[in-house]
Amino acid sequence: MTDTAIHTKGITKAYNELTAVDAIDLDIKKGELFGLLGPNGAGKTTLIGMLSTMLRPSSGNARVWGYDIRTDSTMVRKSIGVVFQDTTLDQKLTGRENLDLHGRLYGLPKKERQDRIREVLELVELSNWADETVQKYSGGMMRRLEIARGLMHHPNVLFLDEPTLGLDPQTRNHIWEYIKQLNQEKNITMVLTTHYMEEADQLCNRIAIIDHGKIVTMGTPHEMKSSLGGDMITLELSPEDDTSKLKNRYVEKTGNENISISENKLRITATNGERAIPEILKITSELGLEILSVNLHKPTLDDVFLHHTGKDIRDTSSEGGSIKRTGRMHRRRR
């Protein structure tokens, strides 16, 4: 029996002149917590929309838990759970009633529904709030209830679309713990989309960094950061100074060409950052340039993104929506 939970081959989604997902090949193992990391607009949500059968690919195909997303969409939907970016809970119903409705939609018998509701409420620590209307829940409680709802029908794969978007740091960390617990204890395959670097770093076994609909690099967080080959030095100069002068002189003196320029900032990858900084400061002084700040740190996923795309993940534009919104956009365009 194959150990692959999700397999895509050249999966593509185009809207007229815009290609949102561009010929992605991907294999995700059963039991893996896999992250899709990228800025808003990268194509993460559109990819999840196709894998969950809510959007039809323009070309290419995928199999989820062995089922073809084009020809076996019903079986795909029975095999997956989805936690949407925007809340889709009925605010007027209680937590228990929301879960019961979901169980009915999936055809769970009454006794099984009741047992499963108790199980998932206990799992996300909402048993004491089960009979309160959802409009009384905090944002974090709603997120936990949505995770519980996604688990009601015992899915093999759980899609989490920006699961902590808009939550405060403490609640976000709480949700992270639930996600890790579910993955490790229940062995549920999870696919998580995020533009939070720390979230991907903390949670995911492997990550695919996506930009403009393409996977630009993929691997474990450690592999990705180690691939940069050293410490990261960021030097900010006065806006009036010519950053390229410093770059050219530094390369000439050290032979290190792992340098990128962004406006008045110079980013250097060095094997030993602490030893490299004095040489950089000396060259800067010789050229008569004004230093505003110097920063030394170990590589982050943002550095990886910058290395492969030439821009910071935080500097990119908005994609404009969750899976639900993407579906509405698709219908309007048709």
**For residue range 112-170, what is the model confidence (pLDDT) as tens digits?**
999 999 999 998 999 999 999 999 999 999 999 999 999 999 999 999 999 998 888 98
The pLDDT score that the predictor gives to residue 316 is 53
Q: Tokens representing 3? A: 């150990």
The pLDDT score that the predictor gives to residue 319 is 42
- Percent composition of the chain: helix, strand, coil (DSSP 3-state, to 5): 40, 25, 30
Task: Give strand pairing partners of 80.
Answer: 157
pLDDT in tens, 71-116: 999 999 999 999 988 889 999 999 999 999 999 999 999 999 999 9
The pLDDT score that the predictor gives to residue 107 is 93
The pLDDT score that the predictor gives to residue 62 is 98
Q: What is the CATH number of domain 229-298?
A: 3.30.70.980
CB 113 within 8 A of CB 104: yes
The pLDDT score that the predictor gives to residue 223 is 95
Residue whose structure tokens are 């499963």 = 116
Superfamily holding 4-220+319-333: P-loop containing nucleotide triphosphate hydrolases (3.40.50.300)
Secondary structure element (H or E) that encloses residue 127, with its range: none
Residue 147 class from Cβ within 10 Å (0-12 exposed, 13-18 middle, 19+ buried)? buried
The DSSP code sequence of 30-96 is: TT-EEEEE--TTSSHHHHHHHHTTSS--SEEEEEETTEETTT-HHHHHHHEEEE-SS----TTSBHH
- Residue ranges per structural domain of the chain: 4-220+319-333, 229-298
Name the 3-class secondary structure at 190. Answer: strand
Chunked in runs of 10, what are the mean pLDDT values of the chain (334 residues)? 91 95 97 95 95 97 98 96 91 97 95 96 94 95 94 95 90 90 92 94 96 96 92 92 90 89 87 91 93 93 88 57 39 34
Q: What angle do CA 121, 122, 127 make, to 5 degrees?
A: 65
> Residue 22 carries which side chain, given as an amino acid letter?
D
